[in-house]
Amino acid sequence: MKPNESSRTALMVARQRAAHQVLDHGSILYDPFAMKILREDEKEVLQFANGHPLASIGRLFTAARSRIAEDALSRAVETGIRQIVILGAGLDTFALRNPHGARQIRIYEVDHPATQVWKRQRLAEAQIALPPWLILVPVDFERDDVGEKLVAAGFQQNSPAFFTWLGVVPYLTEDAIGRTLDYMSSIQNSEVVFDYMEPPEAFSEELRQLERERTELLKKIDERSVSRFEPAGMAAILRSHGFCAIEDINFQGIASRFGRAVQGLAPGHLGVHVVHAKH
């Protein structure tokens, strides 16, 4: 990603979330802010959604991983967690839809400074105010110390926290992933939900070709897809950082649970996983 540019992948995810509202009526993840924050009309969103015969698979995964994260987050709030950290938030709208407002939770959105400036502009144009429980924390994941930046923003290191880390791991080096897991594991009773990708061999043939094209496109816009993991390897990394109670949901599991909710879901499978782990 170029230093002063907002994330193009964040825009793609926001379009998928909006397309899920328009085409699937938000049946996996209902988000009344998805279209407003995007600042595009339905026609543009449908053009994006129908731009590729396999686009429905990405739409399913984008909606499902947020739903899995938000369900786990709700359970964590029930058990007493009051700090939520959204790493690589992009145009995420959870803080606007926060169903736990009465619980005095604090939501820290951590992202690249340029992406946060862009998000503030989108919200201002849509006349959406930042809610009082939301704190924006600008961080460059490859260079900055996430922990230092969070503490400076008011995060309590001695209290448990729930981290969502969606759509970020594939773009980080293994070093940066390790440093972030180190930090999360330093917070007692922390939980995390994140997604990762397997090597391309785990994709169905049509999607393998699409993945090659996507990798080429990412190279052109300086957003490289760097890290791939086998499930056993990912579990070993998490255990080495002290995480246990690891739930790893593969794409087949996601499709069987949520696939019926996506209109005209294309056949094929992605080598993608959503993980919920507790420390």
In a domain, 240, yes or no: yes
Count of structural domains, the chain? 1
Name the token pair of 121: 């502009």
Residue closest to 60 by CA, chosen among 268, 276, 277: 268
Quote the tokens at residue 40. 């595009």
Give whole-number Cα distances, 52 to 148, 206, 208, in Å.
Answer: 42, 12, 14
Tokens at 10, concatenated: 């964040």
pLDDT tens digits, residue range 20-58?
999 999 999 999 999 999 999 999 999 989 888 788 999
Measured in whole angstroms, the distance separating CA 70 from the mean position of its chain's CA atoms is: 11
Q: How far is CA 70 from CA 28, 55, 186, in A?
A: 11, 23, 22
Residue 231 amino acid letter:
P
Element (H, E) at 218: helix 205-220
Instruction: Examine residue 184 and state whether it is found in any structural domain, yes or no.
Output: yes
Q: Which residue is it, tokens 């947020």?
A: 66
Beta bridge partners of 138: 111
104 in Cβ contact with 125 (< 8 Å): no
Q: Which residues of the chain have pLDDT under 70?
A: 1-6, 202, 211, 214-215, 217-226
Q: At what angle do helices 42-49 and 55-78 cross, to 10 degrees?
A: 110
Model confidence pTM above 0.85:
yes
Is position 1 within any domain?
Answer: no
List, for residues 88-110, the tens digit of each pLDDT value.
999 999 999 999 987 899 999 99
Instruction: Determine the pLDDT at residue 6.
Output: 59
Q: Would residue 13 count as lying in a domain?
A: yes
Which residues is 159 bridged to in the sheet? none
Neighbours of 51 (CB within 10 A): 10
Mind giving me the DSSP string for 174-202? HHHHHHHHHHHHTSTT-EEEEEEE--GGG
Q: Report the CATH number at residue 85.
A: 3.40.50.150
Please state, in angstroms and rounded to a whole number, the distance separating the CA atoms of residues 16 and 58: 7
Quote the radius of gyration of the chain (alpha carbons, Å).
18
- Residue 32, in any domain of the structure: yes
The answer as to whether 2 is a domain residue is: no
The pLDDT value recorded for residue 120 is: 96
87 located within any domain: yes
- Tell me, yes or no, whether 145 lies in a domain: yes
CA dihedral (195, 199, 200, 201) in degrees, to 10, reads -120
Closest CA to 128 of 101, 93, 100: 93
Q: What is the spatial distance between Cα 190 and Cα 259, in angstroms, rounded to a whole number? A: 30
pLDDT, residue 1, reads 47
Q: Structural domain of residue 256, as residue ranges?
A: 8-278
